[in-house]
Amino acid sequence: MCSVILANSQCMDSLAVLRDTANLSVLNKKRWRLAFVTIYCSRAFFPRFKQHEILSRRWSKISPDPSSRITLDVVLEHPLFSGVDQSSLIKVVKDKSLDHLAKLGGVEGISSSLKTDLLYGITGDLEDISSRHEAFGTNTYRKPPTQSFLHFVWEAFKDPTILILLLCAAFSLGFGIKENGPKEGWYDGGSIFVAVFLVISVSSISNFRQNRRFEKLSKVSSNIPVEVVRNSRRQQITIFDIVVGEVVFLKIGDQVPADGLFIEGHSLQVDESSMTGESDHVEINTYQRPFLFSGTKVADGYGKMIVTSVGMNTTWGEMMSTISRDSNEQTPLQMRLNKLTSSIGKVGLAVAFLVLLVLLVRYFTGSTEDDNGNKEFNGSKTKADDVINAVVRIITAAVTIVVVAIPEGLPLAVTLTLAYSMKRMMADQAMVRKLSACETMGSATTICTDKTGTLTLNQMKVTKFWLGKESLEGMYYSLISSNVLELFYQGIGLNTTGSVYRSEISGTYLEFSGSPTEKAILSWAMLELNMDMEAVKRDCNVLNVEAFNSEKKRSGILMKKVEDGGSHVHWKGAAEMILAMCSHYYDVKGDIKDLNDFERVKFDQIIQGMAASSLRCIAFAHKQVLEVEHESGGNHPRIQENGLTLLGMVGLKDPCRPGVKRAVEDCQFAGVNVKLITGDNVFTAKAIATECGILHLNQEENDDTVIEGVEFRGYTDEERMEKVDKICVMARSSPFDKLLMVQCLKRKGHVVAVTGDGTNDAPALKEADIGLSMGIQGTEVAKESSDIVILDDNFASVATVLRWGRCVYNNIKKFIQFQLTVNVAALVINFVAAVSAGEVPLTAVQLLWVNLIMDTLGALALATERPTKELMNKKPVGRTEPLITNIMWRNLLAQALYQISVLLILQFRGESILSISRRVNDTLIFNTFVLCQVFNEFNARELEKKNVFEGIHKNKLFLGIVGITLILQVVMVEFLKKFADTERLNWGQWGLCMGIAAASWPICWLVKSIPVTDRPVSSFFSFKNF
């Protein structure tokens, strides 16, 4: 613990003397320093104790001068963990100090001080965990404070149009009170103030809620599972539960969960680029580089570590505490909508300027009259206050037109629908990491999927065993000769990343951990072959390991027997690859036979037979090594790869997931091609693809539909581009083959989604338009490279993501249609009325109310529609399809023309036709306009279908918003007359308004019968790129 003590001058003098004592021994210096801290400086420290808070504040604000303070290392040990303290543990890893590590007794010494058994881990009971938290802290990071509600209010206030409206409201309020007194004069200005604050409040609350929702989802993505051993039991815990002293297992693709030291392992290489920026992998070993840093990734091999620092005591913790997640990520669709908003806003600005110009000209030329029929402007006879008040009123009207014209609800609608869909997708087993993936998934034309765990259950079980050319089952395992059985024990028990936990209570309960393949083989060996794993590990020492990876599809070990010192090589992996490394094989009697070409063909047929039954074929091979060779340029003993003897083969069954065939068919019906890319051999891949519906019986004979990765890799660029569309299955593929496939498909114009779970899948996941990683089997590297994490590893969830992606895109298009209808109608009505009559029919407060309905309430109503089956009946949306389609133009122009026609008739002929006063007529126009938008919300629910009411009873939020809007409109018209500048309407007039608005439904039904051309209408206008 580093304590900074501000000493008085007397302390400083004493320290000077202490520094000058050069002839003291190191031990005496330590004693002097401890004595100085304990006795002498206590007089400088304790009188200041009461001022601790004040000094803390000062130190936090003022950067202290290094020359005026002294840093002393004071070791404060926890009573339960003697011999080691937090600062020493932090320093040993941060400084990568081997000397410091040696002083602490090495890894063994530290583990002893931390009361950790390197084999069986910590005890892990509540008392033990609590004491470790108390002594060393928790594995959590301080995060920057989240944005408060006031932040979003302030952001809303920064809108220029809102500021202008508030300024105009202030002027209007001032002049109104001056002219009519406080009792009556506050209505105009006060009404605008209330309306503006209402708009700001609703907008701020909505944005605040979405921000909180995004933060909540981001916390879930940070919750990484970690494999540890506690009380001799290997188990998974969350990264936040890691404590100092924990023994953690690491494998390829894992994120190192905390700072720590390497215990043991093989070929462990770590990617420290997130910490150092260096792309080269760092090899971790016991003697030279045992230091592991939180946040780095395991690039190769496997191993165990002991945790020495957690949370804020790690370098990663310090770094993460200063980084805030950007919740304002702009998706491609949002950027397109911002451009559209900008273009429409410019049109609205131009219209507002023209209205402002016309109204000012008409006012100053004396063409306008007040409520009593008198001219409003009479030259010098008009009071200055009246002129300013009139000008402010005209500016307010013009600015309000800009507010209504700018479709601010478009970005809000995207945010709402993305937030809503993210929450629902989480319930449907899909966690969105990048917002853009939600909308891009709706445009996907091709999905490249893995087999294991995605199409299948990933519940492996050994169902076939071949020893030599004989298939053995159950009771016939007793026929295996003892020498072959011993070799099997070694090859299975040592060449594995899995482990077995045996209950101490019963001794019979076995718990297997590791990958599904490892667990299946270990389970079979222990339960069927009666393998004693502890005895195997006790009798043999592993000298070197080559870890399994998806490139080579095999793993190997070099081991030495304790009894006779004999060295042996064991390999395990894909059957045909192991077979290619063998020159001999064992038969049932345990005799070694020559593996000639004729015998090799028979073994190939056995492998193909198992693969055709959808079995994964794993082979085991062995070789006794007389002299251990070392790798060129290295100290590691070499694991020989040729001249092996085949021990036997097992077939593992991994059944297809229920419902996966239906999900594949749904995707294909929706126009999305599904391709299977797997590391299994071609026969297994074919069988699974046929079972899942990816490959149909009439396609199996076609050479172009099923290929191997090496064949695809060997094509020329032209051949690949020609054949890539036809390929349905690619077997024995490497991660590079998957990347090559994605690149070819994108060049052909496809929008590609790719599933991946391994570290080597990261390039393909990044290259794809939508990267889908697996939540259960996926490594942390794969998850970080992906856009969406499929939490249950199920292909049916991929199909659900596709459905939600289309829903997001469709909901946004619905809202665009609704929004633009209001924009067009409002702009045309106000402009025509201003130019011809010299006045705007809708007041500032009324327009702000309309703005609230269409921007916020409309977005809530239309952006939260759930996906329907019909969405999967359409072809995918292409990359270049315009945002506003011909169908949308047809619908919105028809509704806008209807509204414009009716409202302009009411504006110019309403008083004479209905024999009503001017104020009642203005109220009728306002009421009809609002009700038209409410009824048009129903029309916007369906872009193509004529029945807009289908499934409406399921959307309670939509019905609730429509109901609230209608109630508030009644309140505005009937009870807030002075606030909204309205007159009360009778039942007949309400019926007329409702009838005019309801007429939009049959008009919508008729308009949808009109066919539209294929050429985008938007290409004729300035926003053709949207």
Active site residues: 450
Query: What are the C-alpha distances in Å from 1009 to residues 820, 891, 1006?
Result: 21, 11, 5
Residue 303, strand partner residues = 250, 265
Give Cα 104 to chain centroid, integer Å. Answer: 42
In this structure, what DSSP letter does residue 380 have? G
Residue type, 890: R
Query: What are the C-alpha distances in Å from 795 to residues 127, 436, 742, 788?
Result: 43, 21, 18, 13
706, 690 in Cβ contact below 8 A?
A: no
- Structure tokens that stand for 204 in this block: 């701020």
Q: Which residues of 128-162 are buried (b: 16+ CB within 10 A; e: fewer)?
A: bbebbeebbbbbebeeeeebeeeebbeebeebebb
338, 324 in Cβ contact below 8 A?
A: no
As a whole number of angstroms, the distance between CA 294 and CA 315 comes to: 7
Looking at beta carbons, which pairs linking 284-288 to residues 24 or more positions away fall under 8 Å?
286/107, 286/262, 288/98
The SS3 of residue 572 is strand
As a whole number of angstroms, the distance between CA 680 and CA 791 comes to: 23
As a whole number of angstroms, the distance between CA 289 and CA 302 comes to: 15
- Structure tokens that stand for 763 in this block: 């390039």
Residue type, 457: L
In this structure, what DSSP letter does residue 641 have? -
The SS3 of residue 541 is strand
As a whole number of angstroms, the distance between CA 796 and CA 790 comes to: 10
Residue type, 618: I
As a whole number of angstroms, the distance between CA 616 and CA 914 comes to: 82
As a whole number of angstroms, the distance between CA 660 and CA 796 comes to: 6
Residue 226, strand partner residues = 237
Residue 620, strand partner residues = 572, 648
In this structure, what DSSP letter does residue 215 have? H
| Closest alpha carbon to 256 in 143, 115, 93 | 93
The alpha carbons of the chain give a radius of gyration, in whole angstroms, of: 37
As a whole number of angstroms, the distance between CA 707 and CA 727 comes to: 7
Name every residue whose Cβ is closer than 8 Å to that of residue 343 and which is 6 or more positions away in sequence.
Answer: 1022, 1023, 1026
As a whole number of angstroms, the distance between CA 557 and CA 575 comes to: 17
Which ranges of 365-493 would DSSP assign to H, the alpha helix?
384-405, 409-427, 436-441, 482-493
- 818, HSE (Cβ side, Cα atoms, 13 Å): 36
